Amino acid sequence: MSREAKIIAFCCNWCSYAAADLAGISRLQYPGSIRIIRVMCSGMVHPEMVIHALDKGADGVMIIGCHLGECHYIRGNEMALARAEVIADTLEDLGYESERFRIAWVSSAEPERLAEAFREMSARLASLRETDASPSGIGE
Amino acid sequence: MLPRLSFECLHGCSGCEMALLDCGEQLLGLLDRVEIVHFPLLMDHKYHNPLSGASDEEGEIILPEAEIGLVSGGVANVEQLQVARALRAQCRTLISLGTCATHGGIPALRNQWTSEETLQTVFAYGSPEKALLPSEVPALLDRVYSVDEQVAVDVALPGCPPRPEMMLEVIEALLRRESPDLAHKSVCETCPVIRKGKGQGQGTMQRFLANADYDPEEPVEQMRCLLEQGLLCMGPVTAGGCGGRETPLCIRARVPCRGCYGPVRPGGNQLLDMMNGLASNGIDYRSLVDRKSLLRFSGGHGLLKPARKRKESN
C-alpha cells in the first residue's frame, strides 16, 4: 500500500504544460507518480481518453488547461469544462469514483498552483485508497 | 464437399437465428450450396460423443468440424464458455452474430451488479435466505462476456437482430473467400431526416413518452431530426447498417434509434460518446433519465460494472 497513486495529467501546450516546465526549472516539489501528457488544448481530451487511462490502471486523471477566458483557441477550455462535467457524472455509472477525475486551470506563470493541484490530487487518491482498504459496510 | 456451417446459440434469445430464417427465398438459394452440420435450434444433434464412453453430464463437448461457425448470444455460464471454445476449435472462420455475441447485448445489463446480487434479486427478493443455483445448472461466470472476450472471433456482425440480407451477404462473401464488407459509419450516415446543424436543437432531452413531431402523410425525408426535436436518438453513437443503404429501421417507424448495433468503433462507449456529444453541443445532459441504460446493448467488454463499495462519509 506504499505505492503512490499513479496520475495521468493531460496538460495543454500553451498554459499548463509551460507551467509544468517552469515548475521543473524552479525545482518545485510534487509527487513523482504524475505522468504528464502534453495535448494542444484541454478541449481535445475526449472522455474516452480519461476512461481508457483508468481502465488501463491509472488511479486518477487530471485535465489541466488555461484559465477560462484565456484559451489559446478562444473556447477550447469551455469545451473541456462541459466535457469534465460529463466525465465526473459518468465515472460513477461506469464503476469508478468521481474523485478519480479532476479538472484544473493553471496559467503558464503559475507553477506553484500546478504543483499544489498535483499534491492535492495525490492526497485525495491516497485517502480514497484508504477507504477502499477498510472493510465495507462498517461506516463511521 | 460442400462448405459446412455450424450454428450455436449461447446467452441470447435465438432471435438472430429467427432473423436468418426470415431471409425467405434467398435462404433456399444458400442451402443448396452449403451443408449445415450443427444447428441446435433447427435440428437434433448431440453435444457429446457417445463413443467416448463419458456420461452425458460430464462428457467433453464435441462439435463437428465446419468451415464457418456462427455464434449468437454472449457467454454467461461455464457451459456456454465450454461450447464457445469447442466451436472455436472446430471452425475455420468464426462469426459472432448479433449484438449479444459482439457487445454483450441486453443480458449484459446485469453486469451492473455482481452475479450473487442478480441471483438474490431474481430468485429470493426480500428473503433473508441466500439464493443458490441448483448444482445441476451450470454455474454463472462473474459477468456476461461477449464472445470475442473469450475466444478469437474473425467477423463481428452486430444487430438485434442483424439485418437478414447482411447475414447472407457475409456468408456469401466468405464462401467466395472474400472479406465481408461491413458498415463502418453511424446510423446517421443513411438517415434522411432534416438536420439544421449544431446548436439548432432544444436545450434539454425528454423521454419518448409522446410521439415525435411529424406529418404522417409526408415521407420520412420531411421529418425533423429526432435528436434536434429533443428526443434521445442514439443514431450518432451507434453503428449503422440496420436499414442497409436505406433509412434506418427505427427512423422508418418514426422512433428514435435505441442503439442496438452497438458502438460505431470497436471498443467505443455509447454512453460516454452520447453524453460527450450532448454536452459539447450545449445540451443539458442531466435532463436525461437513467442514462446508464444507454449501454443497454453494449454492457460487455467491461463497460458496465458494479459500483465500487465505498465508505459513507457521513
- Nearest-CA residue of chain A relative to B265? A48
Q: How many CB pairs under 8 A join A and B?
A: 66
Question: What would the mean pLDDT of A34-56 be, rounded to a whole number?
Answer: 94
Q: Does A49 touch chain B (CB under 8 A)?
A: no
For residues B242-248, average pLDDT: 91
pLDDT tens digits, one per residue of B206-238: 888 888 999 999 999 999 999 988 899 999 999
Q: What is the mean pLDDT of residues A100-106?
A: 96
Comparing B4-8, B38-42, B272-276, B309-313, which segment has the lowest mean pLDDT? Answer: B309-313
What is the band of B50 on the pLDDT scale with cuts at 50, 70, 90? low
| Rg of chain A (C-alpha set) | 15
Instruction: Write out residues 62-101 of B within 8 Å (CB-CB) of A.
Output: none
Amino acid B22: pLDDT: 87
pLDDT for A139 equals: 35
Q: Are B7 and B68 in contact (CB under 8 A)?
A: no
The B residues from 285 to 304 touching A (CB cutoff 8 Å) are 285-286, 291-292, 302-304
Please name each of the domains of chain B with its CATH number.
Answer: 4-175 (3.40.50.700), 183-305 (no CATH)
What pLDDT is stored for residue A140 in this prediction? Answer: 32
- ipTM of the predicted structure? 0.81
Four-CA torsion B161, B165, B170, B173, nearest 10 degrees: 180
Per-residue pLDDT tens for B99-133? 999 999 999 999 999 999 999 999 988 888 888 88
What pLDDT score does A138 carry?
37
| The CATH number, out of the four listed (3.40.50, 3.30.70, 3.90.25, 1.10.600), of the domain defined by the range A7-133 | 3.40.50
A3-7, A30-34, A112-116, B33-37, range with the lowest pLDDT: A3-7
Does the beta-carbon distance from A93 to B303 stay under 8 Å?
no
The pLDDT assigned to B23 comes to: 86
Residue from the list A55, A93, A96 with its beta carbon closest to the beta carbon of B271: A93
Q: pLDDT by residue (tens digit) across B267-296? A: 899 999 999 988 888 888 888 888 888 999
Q: What are phi and psi of B204, to 5 degrees?
A: -130, 170
Chain B interface mutation, best of A90, A97, A100, A129, highest count of B Cβ atoms under 10 Å? A90
Domain ranges of chain A: 7-133
What is residue A137's predicted lDDT score, i.e. its pLDDT? 38
B273 touches chain A (CB under 8 A): yes
Average of pLDDT values for A66-88?
93
What contacts 24+ positions apart, CB below 8 Å, involve B177-185? B180/B155, B182/B155, B182/B156, B182/B157, B182/B241, B183/B239, B183/B240, B183/B241, B184/B239, B184/B264, B185/B239, B185/B240, B185/B264
Residue A131 has pLDDT above 90, yes or no: no
